[in-house]
Each structure stands twice: as structure tokens, then as C-alpha cells.
Structure 1
């Protein structure tokens, strides 16, 4: 891990912490999403925890036999008339889309929401080749107009309030300045209608791929996903290998967990289940449907008996909504397609620990993410364990693990702390010194290199006098 990379993280975190409007916007949205989720669970679910346990169990069951399910899905999907492609990495996935566009003389693609295509940086790939990818999800439209990546897995533009969005539409689309949600939606709808009139190729993600049926299930709230997949001649669906589920019944259980966790709503507005291309006699639907099954290091995650649990993620984003770090800095500060707690777990494994290890520091290990995850991924535990991978300990199987991720000063500091923390006499001495020096440290913290950085956005804890004596007495009781 280079000093330049570390500095890049420090710079953007500092920048976001200084952005008062960003923090205000995030706090407002996060509070709303958390409140809606809490109310819904209390009023509509008689045993939410049992449902979570069921979701966890069935995801792990499906991951355990994913090789078989992938083969079954491919076979059934081909029987249904789908064209199935396998992509080992981002380049292969993007080139499949490029080949489809070139073979059909298409230079424009309308995209429904797809985090997998964000992961492969499909938009930048196509633009570099003179092609035009157009987002149709409202949040994605907003950030595409200002050339930003999504700030959130589910709600890509939550860092912008309605007044800022009105200014973006005025500046980029030539629309009148508006701030009411209904009028902003009307502006976006009018902007997109002309694109939908004559497009030939649409792209979507996949929420669930049903192995037994060879079908794909897409969830959305705006209707643009349905337009992007039915009004075109060719539909391309990006599907991570972990999205394959054995049955519709199992996918329905995960769906019941996903929507309340993501938005605090009981159901989504549109459930699009696609079982085949357009059949003879049907009036709508694409003539071709291509499904790109994306690996991109997921297989490497799957083979690890510890970290594979991160592949249970159903992309609800609730771990971001409850994270006390994310709601202060937003998703862009993570410098990854996937931000927040789930991003800290999967980004180093998908893209390389040597490229994304600094994001592991954007966590307080409070455990909120683990408590709210609908499929019970132990996110805080996995983040902590990835930190050990970073310093050369742990399982040593994460992609991109090398000496560049190791900070010798950090390793030395933790070894020294371990020696003190496991020695009662040294530990009591440290507490006594902390008790004595606490008033001085608060005064001189801005002048001490390590403390200066730490106290820039934090307050030193208050020590309640004679702490070492109290701890000694407690230890004496324990030892007796």
C-alpha cells in the first residue's frame, strides 16, 4: 500500500467531513430510512429474527452448492431461449456488451440499475469507444449528469437534496429551476422519453437468478427497469454468480428481507420476472436476452471457508444506513464501487487488498452492521479479520495480499500494545500514566503527531480519577 494511496484516502475523508451540506443530507436520509425500517419491522413482522435466520441459512445452502446451481441455471436458461455468457473479470464482461453492440450496429444503450455494471466500469469502457451508455434510474441520471459514481448501493444520489438536484437539471438539461419532487420527476421523465422512443439495446442487473426455472427476477421502484428490459430489441442482464438461487420460494424469502431492509417499504413497486425472450404472438419484450454471469474474484471468495459469507449479501444497503462512519463521510470517501461496511468486506476481496486496504480503517467496529444485516453476515468480524490480513496475519488468501499492505509502524505498535495488555503489571502502569497525563495530553494533543490526527475530529475520553487503582481493585476481586 503506497503512501500516495493512503494520502488519497486521508484527503477525501477530510474533504467530506468538511462538507456540512453533505453531512446534513446524509443524516436526514439515513434517519428516514432507519426509522421506516424500524416501524415496518415492528408493525408487519411477527418474527423478523426468525426470518433473518432463515435467509442466512438458505443463502449459505445455495452458496455451498453454487457450482451445481450455476450449471443448472445455464441449462434451463438456454432451454428458455436466453443466450448465456460467462465473464471471468470486468474486461470480459464489458467486451461481451461491446461485441453485442457492434454486431447489431448499435451505438446507444439504456441502462436500468446495475451495481455489477458499475463494478466493471461499463460506462467508462463504452464511452472510451465512442458509444453512449444512458442511465434511466432517477438517482443514476442525476450522478451521470455530474459525472459522479453512486454514493450508495440502493440510492445512488442521496448525497444531493432536492434543491441541488433542481440546479443540476437546470444546468445540465436546460430545465426550469424546480425543487418539488413531482416536478423534478417530470423533468427526468420528459428527458428520458425521447431516448426510450427509438432505443434497441437495454441493460439491467439481476436481483435473483432462479436455477430451477432458468429465469431472472428484477426489483425496482420507478418503471424504468421494465422499460429497459421490455421495450428494446435486445436485453443484456449483468448477474454476479452469487445471485443464483435454487427456487422461487427461496428467492421470495430473500425478497421479503430485501425490500424492508433497503427502503423500509413492505414491497417494491415493480417485480419483473423474465422467463424468456419474446415468443411468437407476443406484442412486447426483447427478441434477444443475453445473461452475463460475472465472476470477478467471487470464486476466490467462495472457496474460503471464512470470507465466503460475504457473498450472502443481497445488496439492500441497510448496513450503510446504520453505519456511524458512512453517514459522516458518504460513499465516495471509500473510493470503491461498494462503500460502507459491505464494501469494506467485499472490495478488498474483489479488487485486491493492496488497492483497497485503507478503507478498512473507515470502521469503528461498533457492530451495528452485523446487527441489522438481514442475512446475518458478521460484517464487523470480517472487517476486523481483513485488518489482520493486511498486516500479514490471518488466512493469507485474499487477492492482492502482499508486503505493500503491511505498515511496519502499525505492526510494531500493535505488538507493543499486546505485550502491555497481556501483562497485568504493565497494564496497571499504563493506566496510571494515562490517569496522570490525561490533563496534559488534552492540552498538548494538537502538537503531538499521532494525537494531532486522532483528535482532529474526536475528543479524548474522560478518565475518572485514580482509574488504575479502581482497575487494580477489580482485578483483585476477579483473581480472588
Structure 2
């Protein structure tokens, strides 16, 4: 965590331009996003008679649980301890990493096998353990692929969605010395053989948490590949990383959220595996870990929770549907966000987790089209929150965001917006400005490649058609009253 530095505009521009110029990447993303969107749409139309009411219920459940999160966290800990689960509290990613490292040292474990966990990506656990001379080995198929490439996930649900089957075949051929294949069945077989070697002998497994049930002291994990069950049931020690916002009051609450999560994430009605862990292995049981450790991770979530406006971002159930519907994400991909959490939800929570001063340019990766807010299963107003975080960036807004130290203010941007406000609130200036823009638009189009601001615009877009004179005439003819 301590290695998270300020992400500059140049870093974002470099990543974005590289991905925009990668035709294969863009084709892969478009195909994948279209498939996920259509699967979701078709399932909702076929299986749900009142999806909107379910969304409203999900929103209410998340907000109800967030309002009493302090009580639920204590209740969860008490019940989990009663179930013989060891509960650890981590104020940030550094503390959580140290907890896992110390456990590995204490148990004489040099290698940990991981089920899918975005919280571990948020903490940069793999990098931390590598620096300590330990191994963190991914077992989710998508995570296996990107680990072979030494890349972070490109998506919070489908980590390697930017690679097609031919590219994956080449990766397995190069990195695993496997036969060159492209059929999904063959690729799965290669991955299965590779992972089985790791699963034969390991003492510690790691997972994330989808829902932590306060009144049971249990955790609920969702997955489709079986690797999550192997990572949690086969080793002697299971460690689960749980963001504190994942705690809900009851299984009934979790079941409702689950009914929203899976269709939104993959367009499927259910996952293949639902792993509910209530305790370590008991004396009369043949499988399961001998020890279960749950790390309750804060990492500025408490700071997010205390703000009556931005706390709504903690309702996220990590379905990724906002990414699937985002017209920016499907052009540039997740790596261009330079964060564990890309897309609209990433733009909302990343500045609040790491500091708005460190990820300020990320907030520009949004057109404010509002699709993300329309499809969010728990109705987080993502576009509104992104817009409001932009005001935080320039020193306005609520000023409760981590890292809001004034360093993100852009004097040129502030000056330009003041000039715009002056013109937009003065009818004479506004009509004159629109008329002048219309007159000089042909010159702007001719020299756009040399004009700052326009140069970046026309690099990937057509020059807009502008007719300011006609606009002014129509406004007068219609009797528009500005004053």
C-alpha cells in the first residue's frame, strides 16, 4: 500500500493512448462487453417479472446495513469467534498484508494459493509477498492468465476479458510450454493440469468474501470454477479478506443481494459454486480447513461511511455491470485506469481509498452519460458521485475526501470555468460568444490539429458541426428571454 504514488496525467495519457491504438484489445473488449450486456438483458427479461422492485429492495438492504455497520461488525466478530473463527482487524492494506505475512511465517508456509479477491488486489498482496520472498499463486482461470503475464486484472469480475482464446493459447504455449491450442475445452484442460500440481500440496489458501453474515458469523463466497472451494476447503489454513462493507445482517439480506449480483455480473441466474463457511473443520468432518482467519479490512472505508453523500458508494456488490455498460471502459480497458478498481465504480471508490490527490486524473475517464447509474443493481448514483468528486478535485464540494489537500487544483481550469460562468450568466456575452464560435468554426476545423485542447479532441473524434450565427438568430426569433 505504501508504494501507491501520485498518478500523473502523463501516465494516464500513455496508458489510454496505448490501449486506444491496440485494435485487438478494443475488438476483444467490444465483443466481451456486448456479450455480457446482452446476457444480462436477456436473463432479466426472461426470469424477472419486476427487476426494478428487486433493485429498490437491494438498495434499501445495503443502506440499512451501512447505517448500522458498526453494530453489525461487532455482532459478526462475536458470532464468528463463537464459531471458532479467528477475526483480525486491519485499518489499511499495509496492516492486512502484515497479518497474512505473519501468519505465513508462524505456520512455516512459503506459498499461498488464492481464490479470486479484489481486496487482495487493492492491498497489492502479491507484490508485498514477493518482496518478502514468499509466493502468492492465483487459481482463478482469468487471474492465472494475467499472473503469467505479470499484469493486474482488467475487470473486477472477469480479469482476463481483454484476451481472446487465440491469445490465451499463445500465452499457455509460451509460459507453460503447453501445446498451442485455441479451443476453450483444451485451454481449460491445460489450466487444470497446471493448477492441479499446485493444489496437490499446499497448507494455506486465501479468498475474498462476497457476503459476511453478522447474525451467523459466517461468510458466503460465490464462484464458477471450483478453485475457490479448493482454496478454502482443501488447505489446513483458510484466510479470507473482507472489506467491512461486505457485512450484512442476515442470510435473507445476502440472498436478495445475490439475486441481483449474479445476473448483473455474468448474465447467469446462479453461480456454479456457493461456498458458505461457518467454522473450521469439526472433529466429525472429513474436509475443510483446520483454521479459518477473517481479516476485516477498513482502508478508508470508515472515512467513506461517515460522509452522508459519498457513503452510497459502499453499497457496491462488485458485480461489474457498470464497467460492462460504460462507453469509456469498453474503449480503453481496465488497465488504463491505473487502479485495482477500473470503470465507473473505480472512479468513485479509488480516490476515496487511496486519496483524491493520487488519482485525480482518473475522474476525467467519464462522459457522464449516466449508463452506470441506470444499470447498477443497487442504484448507486455513480455518474452523480463522479461529477461531485470532480468538484472536490478543484477545492469545492464537501471536502471530506482523503487526500483533498489542494494539490489537485488546476489554476488554468479554474480560470477557464470562471470565464465560462461569466459568459453563461450574461446574455449579451453568451450570444456574442456563440456567434463568434460559429464564424470561426471553419478555421478551428482547419487548424484543430495545432490548437491545444482541440488537438486531443480531434485525435479520436470528428470535429463538431457548429453554427453559432444560426443559433443566435433562432433564439431571437423564438423570443427566448435571457434577462
Identify the TM-score tier after normalising by the shorter chain.
over 0.9
Q: Distance in 1 between matches of 2:51 and 2:438?
A: 45
Q: Distance in 2 between matches of 1:168 and 1:4?
A: 29
Q: How far 1:473 sits from its partner (Å)? A: 3.5
| TM-score using structure 1 length | 0.98
1:63-78 paired onto structure 2 within 5 Å: 63-78=66-81
Matched, 1:466 2:470: yes
Q: Distance in 1 between matches of 2:97 and 2:376?
A: 31
Q: Distance in 1 between matches of 2:91 and 2:326?
A: 32
1:43-54 paired onto structure 2 within 5 Å: 43-54=46-57
Number of aligned residue pairs: 478
Q: How far 1:200 sits from its partner (Å)? A: 0.6
Q: Distance in 1 between matches of 2:52 and 2:233?
A: 37
> What are structure 1's unaligned runs of at least 5 residues?
none
SS in structure 2 of the partner of residue 449 of structure 1: coil
Alpha carbons 2:427, 2:482 under 8 Å: kept:
no
Alpha carbons 1:354, 1:401 under 8 Å: kept:
yes
- 4+ residue stretches of structure 1 with deviation over 4 A? 477-480
Q: Distance in 1 between matches of 2:164 and 2:153?
A: 15
1:65-98 CA distance string (max 9 Å, x none) = 0000000000000001100000000111001111
Q: Which residue does 2:321 correspond to in 1?
A: 318
Q: Distance in 2 between matches of 1:259 and 1:141?
A: 22
1:222 aligned residue (214, 222, 225)? 225
Q: Which residue does 2:351 correspond to in 1?
A: 348
Q: Which residue does 1:212 correspond to in 2?
A: 215
| TM-score using structure 2 length | 0.97
Matched, 1:117 2:120: yes
1:363 aligned residue (358, 366, 391)? 366
Q: Which residue does 1:133 correspond to in 2?
A: 136
| Greater shift in the superposed pair: 148-157 or 459-468 | 459-468
Alpha carbons 1:206, 1:239 under 8 Å: kept:
yes
Matched, 1:105 2:108: yes
| Greater shift in the superposed pair: 425-434 or 161-170 | 425-434
SS in structure 1 of the partner of residue 318 of structure 2: coil
1:88 aligned residue (84, 87, 91)? 91
Q: How far 1:439 sits from its partner (Å)? A: 1.6
Matched, 1:417 2:411: no
> What are structure 2's unaligned runs of at least 5 residues?
none
SS in structure 1 of the partner of residue 8 of structure 2: helix
Matched, 1:408 2:411: yes
Matched, 1:11 2:14: yes
Q: How far 1:4 sits from its partner (Å)? A: 7.6
| Greater shift in the superposed pair: 465-474 or 215-224 | 465-474
1:124-165 CA distance string (max 9 Å, x none) = 111111111110000000000010000000000001110110
* Residue 110 to residue 445, structure 1, CA distance change in 2 (3 Å): same
SS in structure 1 of the partner of residue 159 of structure 2: coil
SS in structure 2 of the partner of residue 171 of structure 1: helix
Alpha carbons 1:342, 1:379 under 8 Å: kept:
yes
SS in structure 1 of the partner of residue 126 of structure 2: helix
1:338-388 CA distance string (max 9 Å, x none) = 000000000000001011010000000000000000000000000000000
Q: Distance in 2 between matches of 1:69 and 1:471?
A: 58
SS in structure 2 of the partner of residue 278 of structure 1: coil
Q: How far 1:477 sits from its partner (Å)? A: 4.5
Q: Distance in 2 between matches of 1:473 and 1:284?
A: 80
CA RMSD of aligned residues (A): 1.3
1:201 aligned residue (204, 223, 226)? 204
Q: Distance in 2 between matches of 1:426 and 1:34?
A: 45
Q: Distance in 1 between matches of 2:216 and 2:261?
A: 21
SS in structure 1 of the partner of residue 293 of structure 2: strand
Q: Which residue does 1:148 correspond to in 2?
A: 151
Q: Which residue does 1:160 correspond to in 2?
A: 163
1:20-39 paired onto structure 2 within 5 Å: 20-39=23-42
